[in-house]
């Protein structure tokens, strides 16, 4: 399948050629023709498989050229993801005169007001700041013909739903809506009838599945040994750059300090930090100034950073879908990656719920020569030897057994 067979305008084909995209990914091949045709689409596909272009290209193609008033609205759950999606739209719209706008919190209002005044064809926004501008009358959405909820399950969960609903109800009635995520709940079609018209579902791979490009394993450990195991893993596993996810902001700060003490170039990103600090951490991580990014779930979704070789979960995520998103920060766009999850006895129930969610048992491994203290987790049955891929090579390879299962 070629991009030129999908019915996109020449300007979009030129943009993807310039970006070096050879052929559409499955979600792009599946969703683009339906969006072009005018259908509402619910798109689910694994992390890192090009969902952004799957909605951006056909919408830009239909918008064609600049006209007054916003006609497309894309909602994103975090500021960083709004920035990234905005940048993607700008690249895809390079050979058009369409104006792309970015509205997000934590930064000044002035420039955003000016941009809105000058007119935008596409607005990429986080809900809170967009509502502020709506409240001030700085923007109207009744001309919106295309609405996208990216990370849709997150945008429709209890935290965001009231804001999202208020925004959606202000959009033009005669519009096309799309939802995209790697973790679309099965019942979404019935939940979303208030926002969509006869949606078609495009599903690539099993729903809720982990990207095939990510090799993920669990490291059981006594809680008190987590810091030492993290430090040892970073010494002994071969890695290029890593994101370490923590449950709380405070854990993230503690782990950041721990890594710095151990001579790692680390930066931390969470919602208590200023937007300037968040941007500085993310930019520094992308540019290679920092080799480790310590983060809360604020960075779990959507972020597309090249060459993240490892995701390390210092804490097991509370919600199983966040596991899929977190580990999807590696192994993007056909590259491969490793994900290591440290877990202690207190997190065994969350691990079980992740395994139910993804429908698979995750391999338990042990780091050899690490001075493990006993934890009841080591008594679990059905523990196989670690069969690490080459990147973990000698480190998790032969001889790194999780220990024989005990007779009962
Ligand atoms: P998702 O939203 O599914 O997690 P993204 O839209 O962030 O994925 O895309 C992941 C990466 O894949 C990005 O770096 C993007 O530029 C790249 N990409 C998207 N589509 C293609 C394609 N058709 N060919 C090659 N790379 C692509
Ligand atoms: Mg995405």
pTM of the model as a whole = 0.92
* CA 11, chain centre distance (Å): 28
Q: Are residues 170 and 34 in the same domain?
A: yes
How many angstroms is it from 301 CA to the middle of ligand 2?
A: 7
> Distance between CA atoms of 127 and 256, rounded to whole angstroms?
30
CATH number of the domain to which 198 belongs: 3.40.50.300
How many angstroms is it from 230 CA to the middle of ligand 1?
A: 30
Tokens for 239, please give them.
Answer: 């890695």
Task: Indicate whether 406 belongs to any domain.
Answer: no
Which of 311, 333, 334, 336 to mutate to test ligand 1, by most ligand atoms within 8 A of the CB atom? 333
Task: Indicate whether 128 belongs to any domain.
Answer: yes
Q: Are residues 166 and 279 in the same domain?
A: no
Shortest CA distance to 52 belongs to which of 18, 90, 79?
A: 90
Q: Are residues 307 and 349 in the same domain?
A: yes
For position 26, what pLDDT does the model report?
97
Task: Indicate whether 108 belongs to any domain.
Answer: yes
Shortest CA distance to 109 belongs to which of 129, 92, 126?
A: 129
Tokens for 208, please give them.
Answer: 């809720």
Q: In what order do the strands lie in the sheet with 337-343?
A: 214-220, 337-343, 310-313, 242-245, 292-295, 266-269
Task: Indicate whether 145 belongs to any domain.
Answer: yes
> Distance between CA atoms of 164 and 168, rounded to whole angstroms?
6
Q: Are residues 226 and 140 in the same domain?
A: no
Ligand 1 atom at shortest distance from the alpha carbon of 24? 23
Q: Are residues 123 and 163 in the same domain?
A: yes
Task: Indicate whether 405 belongs to any domain.
Answer: no
Q: Are residues 303 and 359 in the same domain?
A: yes
Tokens for 71, please give them.
Answer: 């006609």
Of the ligands numbered here, which is closest to the C-alpha atom of 81? 2
How many angstroms is it from 143 CA to the middle of ligand 2?
A: 25
Of the ligands numbered here, which is closest to the C-alpha atom of 29? 1
Strand-pairing partners, residue 214, are 337
How many residues make up the chain in this entry? 408
Domain of residue 268 covers: 214-400
Q: Are residues 221 and 199 in the same domain?
A: no
Q: Are residues 148 and 177 in the same domain?
A: yes
How many angstroms is it from 299 CA to the middle of ligand 1?
A: 17
Q: Are residues 167 and 297 in the same domain?
A: no
* CA 83, chain centre distance (Å): 13
Domain boundary among 169, 204, 239: 204
Task: Indicate whether 373 belongs to any domain.
Answer: yes
For position 191, what pLDDT does the model report?
81
For position 209, what pLDDT does the model report?
86
What total of structural domains would you count in the chain?
Answer: 2
> Distance between CA atoms of 146 and 350, rounded to whole angstroms?
38
Cβ contacts of 283 within 8 Å, gap of 6 or more: none
Residue bearing the CA closest to ligand 1, atom 12:
333
Of the ligands numbered here, which is closest to the C-alpha atom of 16? 1
Q: What is the pLDDT of residues 308-354, one digit of tens each?
A: 999 999 999 999 999 999 999 999 988 999 999 999 999 999 999 99
For position 389, what pLDDT does the model report?
39
For position 72, what pLDDT does the model report?
98
Q: Are residues 246 and 374 in the same domain?
A: yes
C-beta of residue 71 within 8 angstroms of C-beta of residue 119: no
Question: How many C-beta atoms lie closer than 10 Å to residue 264's C-beta?
Answer: 18
How many angstroms is it from 21 CA to the middle of ligand 1?
A: 9
For position 251, what pLDDT does the model report?
97
Tokens for 192, please give them.
Answer: 């979303």
Q: Which residues line ligand 1 (CB under 6 A)?
A: 21, 24-25, 28, 45, 47-53, 304, 332-333
Task: Indicate whether 100 belongs to any domain.
Answer: yes
CA end-to-end span of the chain: 56
Q: Using H for helix, E for strand and C for coil, what is the string for the chain?
A: CCHHHCCCCHHHHHHHHHHCCCCCCHHHHHHHHHHHHCCCEEEECCCCCCHHHHHHHHHHHHHCCCCCCCCEEEECCCHHHHHHHHHHHHHHCCCCCCCEEEECCCCCCHHHHHHHHHCCCEEEECHHHHHHHHHHCCCCCCCCCEEEEECHHHHCCCCCHHHHHHHHHHCCCCCEEEEEECCCCCCHHHHCCCCCCCCEEEECCCCCCCCCCEEEEEEECCHHHHHHHHHHHHHHCCCCCEEEECCCHHHHHHHHHHHHHCCCCEEEECCCCCHHHHHHHHHHHHHCCCCEEEECHHHCCCCCCCCCCEEEECCCCCCHHHHHHHHCCCCCCCCCEEEEEEECHHHHHHHHHHHHHHCCCCCECCCCCCCCCCCHHHHCCCCCCCCCCCCCHHHHCCCCCCCCCCCC
Which of 30, 50, 94 to mutate to test ligand 1, by most ligand atoms within 8 A of the CB atom? 50
* CA 156, chain centre distance (Å): 16
Tokens for 260, please give them.
Answer: 């710095």
Domain boundary among 155, 185, 204: 204
Task: Indicate whether 301 belongs to any domain.
Answer: yes
Cβ contacts of 53 within 8 Å, gap of 6 or more: 16, 21, 25, 28, 88, 92
Tokens for 85, please give them.
Answer: 């999606």
Domain boundary among 204, 234, 254: 204
Q: pLDDT tens, position by position, for the chain (408 residues)?
A: 999 999 999 999 999 999 999 999 999 999 999 999 999 999 999 999 999 999 999 999 999 999 999 999 999 999 999 999 999 999 999 999 999 999 999 999 999 999 999 999 999 999 999 999 999 999 999 999 999 999 999 999 989 999 999 999 999 999 999 999 999 998 888 889 899 999 999 999 887 889 999 999 999 999 999 999 999 999 999 999 999 999 999 999 999 999 999 999 999 999 999 999 999 999 999 999 999 999 999 999 999 999 999 999 999 999 999 999 999 999 998 899 999 999 999 999 999 999 999 999 999 999 999 999 988 888 875 444 444 433 333 233 322 333 333 222
Tokens for 107, please give them.
Answer: 């930064």
Give me the helix-helix angle, 51-63 and 26-37, nearest 10°: 30
Q: Are residues 219 and 194 in the same domain?
A: no
C-beta of residue 116 within 8 angstroms of C-beta of residue 96: no
Q: Are residues 172 and 289 in the same domain?
A: no
For position 186, what pLDDT does the model report?
84
């Amino acid at each position: 399948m070629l991009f030129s067979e999908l019915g996109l305008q020449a300007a979009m084909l030129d943009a993807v050629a310039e970006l070096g995209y050879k052929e559409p990914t499955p979600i792009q091949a599946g969703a683009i023709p339906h969006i072009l045709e005018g259908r509402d689409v619910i798109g689910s596909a694994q992390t890192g498989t090009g969902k952004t272009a799957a909605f951006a290209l056909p919408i830009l193609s239909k918008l064609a050229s600049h006209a007054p008033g916003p006609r497309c609205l894309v909602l994103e759950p975090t500021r960083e993801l709004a920035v990234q999606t905005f940048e993607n739209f700008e690249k895809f719209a390079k050979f058009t005169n369409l104006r792309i706008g970015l509205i997000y919190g934590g930064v000044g209002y002035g420039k955003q007001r000016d941009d809105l005044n000058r007119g935008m064809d596409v607005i990429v926004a986080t809900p809170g700041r967009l509502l502020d501008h709506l409240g001030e009358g700085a923007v109207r959405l009744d001309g919106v013909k295309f609405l996208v909820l990216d990370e849709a399950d997150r945008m429709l969960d209890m935290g965001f739903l009231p804001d999202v609903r208020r925004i959606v109800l202000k959009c033009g009635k005669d519009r096309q809506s799309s939802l995209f995520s790697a973790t679309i709940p099965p019942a979404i079609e019935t939940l979303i009838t208030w926002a969509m018209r006869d949606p078609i579902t495009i599903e690539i791979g099993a729903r809720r599945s982990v990207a095939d490009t990510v090799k993920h394993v669990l490291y059981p450990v006594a809680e008190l040994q987590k810091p030492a195991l993290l430090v040892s893993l970073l010494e002994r596993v071969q890695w290029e750059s890593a994101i370490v996810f923590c449950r709380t902001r405070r854990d993230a700060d503690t782990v950041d300090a721990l890594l710095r003490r151990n001579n790692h170039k680390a930066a931390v990103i969470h919602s208590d930090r200023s937007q300037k600090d968040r941007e500085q951490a993310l930019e520094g991580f992308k540019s290679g100034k920092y080799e480790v990014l310590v983060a809360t779930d604020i960075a779990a979704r959507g972020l597309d950073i090249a060459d993240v070789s490892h995701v390390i979960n210092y804490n097991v995520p509370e919600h199983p879908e966040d596991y899929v998103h977190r580990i999807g920060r590696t192994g993007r766009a056909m590259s491969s990656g490793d994900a290591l999850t440290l877990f202690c006895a207190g997190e065994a129930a969350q691990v079980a719920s992740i395994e139910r969610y993804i429908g698979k048992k995750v391999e338990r491994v042990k780091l050899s020569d690490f001075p493990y203290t006993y934890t009841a987790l080591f008594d679990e049955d059905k523990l196989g030897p670690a069969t690490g891929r080459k990147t973990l090579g000698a480190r998790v390879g032969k001889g790194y057994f999780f220990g024989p299962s005990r007779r009962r």
